[in-house]
Amino acid sequence: MNSAQSQIIVVGGGMNSLVCAALLAKRGKSVLLLERNERLGGCILTQELFPGFHHDVLSCWYPLFMGGPAYPELKDDLAAAGVEFVSNGYTTGLITPQGQGVALRQDVQDAIERIEAIAPGDGQAFGAMANQLFQQDAPLTFGLLGNSPYSWKLGKLLFSEWRSRGLDGLVQYASESLESFRRWADRTLHSDFARALIAPWVLHTGLGPDEASSALIGKLTFAAVVAGGMPVVKGGSQNLVRGMQSIIERHGGQVLVNTEVERVVISGGRATGVVAAGKTYNASEAVVCNVTPTQLYGRLLPEAPAETRHRAQAYRYGRGCMQIHFALDRPAPWQDPEMLKVPLLHLTESMENVAMAVTEANNGLIPRRPTIAIGQPSAVDPSRAPEGKWMLWLQLQEMPSRIKGDAAGEIAVPADGQWTEAVREAVADRVQARITTVLPGLDSMIIGRHAVSPGDLERMNCNLVGGDPYSGVCSPDQFFWMRPFPAVGKARAHQTSYPNVYQIGASTHPGPGLGGASGYMVAQRLLGKH
């Protein structure tokens, strides 16, 4: 295929781009994917940080992809390319600094019993919650998330739900969907432990326990993980990227890295291609852009209508994120050996502590006691580390993008508020000391530590503005029909101001995660299946 002529050009090489390009290529479309960095993957990056240890430096877990619509269509192709997803029957859990904890298996009934044993009444409350999510509300919730907001299928779904629930029922669903996690948890759960178990999952879409819609998002994410597991890619997530690239190229598509797109070429009100690295690449059918709205309308489509550009500039990004990776000379020293089996658990004192850390970060402060997501890829995929060794994948989602101070008054911050190596390592020291309270003797086991600050994240991926891993806060004004912003003119959901230019990625419906859903939706539309 001539690199300068394609039917469809995909801008960016993240998860949604790979899904979109792979599906289009499989269906016979000539596809060209252009990536500005030297590698594909976006937030998927596997590196050998220490000899023999293969760390997923950014994202790691794939429940959304395996439970989403793209996986069934790509499953056999990925398997043929050597991509293997593995899980171990455990999902998540909680550990408090006082040592109280729980490890949950991939079994809703078992989770009910384990929670009930620690917090009487709350196991049953979780069971009722899961039943409502996966039975009563499943068609509406997953229909909203799984369809384009302006598609006829969604209109048909809403009409069906209106006939089934009535107007009052739909209003009740909307009310519950907008509720904060704190209000739901205070009303429904009896123990601080159960609230602390579920509350950190609110953070995984950039919200906090006191924000609107955090109840629905927190409950849904937690329950989905317990039911669906926490799979990883065997050998490292980069193998998934290689597998996706092989599907694209095996079906005639082309991938170019180190090729930054400068602008989309518009002629006669339609896109005819892009200019990248000083060269024009033509597209006869469409251009699909996996970028943030500020990039799309500020750089790639600068001549879009003024109101659309204004809406794009008003788009808001969330808190920063930090990653810390440890290579250990032996398995983590959990006091409860069953914790060694848990792929991803959280360390926090309480729901209130989660809320406090969110507030501190929102105010520009490094949290005194951040919530720590403790991932153990070695528990699921031992091949990532040398025999007998261990890895820890830590994520902190309550970090300020721009630093105004330290809540504990211990870390000196630069006057310009930027993340420096000194600040990053000081925060990593605080986090290491915090996890050592539940992993006694950890310090003597460390082979190496590698920290990534919010500033580092933005330098690695321009879609992670301010180190926001979700490319925009998922508050109600930027979610569902209003992601990335409410419809203005022709621009709505994945449709831009131009009829054959589309936007995909975490900044678009249905939001962030490694599901590839927006790439799938736009691919279906371009294939005439919407």
| pLDDT tens for each residue of 164-200 | 999 999 999 999 999 999 999 999 999 999 999 999 9
- At 216 the three-state DSSP class reads helix
- At 1 the three-state DSSP class reads coil
Domain ranges for the chain, please list them: 5-42+237-315+470-526, 107-228
Position 349: which residue type?
Answer: E
Rounded to whole angstroms, the Cα distance separating 103 from 111 reads: 9
Rounded to whole angstroms, the Cα distance separating 157 from 151 reads: 10
pLDDT at 205: 87
Cβ–Cβ under 8 Å, residues 524 and 324: no
In this model, does residue 529 exceed pLDDT 80? no
Q: Which residue has the tokens 């904060």?
A: 180
Cβ–Cβ under 8 Å, residues 281 and 9: yes
The dihedral through the CA atoms of 156, 519, 312, 474 has a sign that is: positive
In this model, does residue 357 exceed pLDDT 90? yes
For the entire predicted model, the pTM comes to 0.94
The band of 151, judged by pLDDT with boundaries at 50, 70 and 90, is confident
Least confident of 62-71, 108-117, 153-162, 300-309: 153-162
pLDDT at 154: 87
Fold category of 5-42+237-315+470-526 in CATH? FAD/NAD(P)-binding domain (3.50.50)
pLDDT at 3: 46
Q: What average pLDDT does the segment 224-252 reach?
A: 97
The band of 395, judged by pLDDT with boundaries at 50, 70 and 90, is very high
Least confident of 240-244, 332-336, 479-483, 505-509: 479-483
Rounded to whole angstroms, the Cα distance separating 327 from 393 reads: 9
pLDDT at 44: 97
Rounded to whole angstroms, the Cα distance separating 33 from 49 reads: 28
Helix (H) or strand (E) holding 170: helix 152-178
Tens digits of residue pLDDT in 20-41: 999 999 999 999 999 999 999 9
pLDDT at 437: 96
Share of the chain above pLDDT 70, in %: 99
pLDDT at 2: 39
Q: What average pLDDT does the segment 203-218 reach?
A: 94
In this model, does residue 457 exceed pLDDT 70? yes
Q: Could you say which DSSP state residue 367 is in?
A: P
- At 322 the three-state DSSP class reads strand
Task: Identify each DSSP E strand in 57-176 by its residue range.
Answer: 85-86, 90-95, 101-105
Q: Is the peptide bond before 386 cis (omega within 30 degrees of 0)?
A: no
Cβ–Cβ under 8 Å, residues 394 and 326: yes
Q: How many other C-beta atoms lie within 10 A of the C-beta of residue 174? A: 10
Opening angle at CA 18, ends 12 and 21, nearest 5: 95
pLDDT at 149: 85
Helices (H), 363-505: 377-380, 421-436, 454-460
Tens digits of residue pLDDT in 158-168: 999 899 999 99
In the predicted model, what is the mean pLDDT of the chain? 95
Helices (H), 229-319: 238-250, 293-295, 306-313
Tens digits of residue pLDDT in 234-247: 999 999 999 999 99
pLDDT at 4: 64
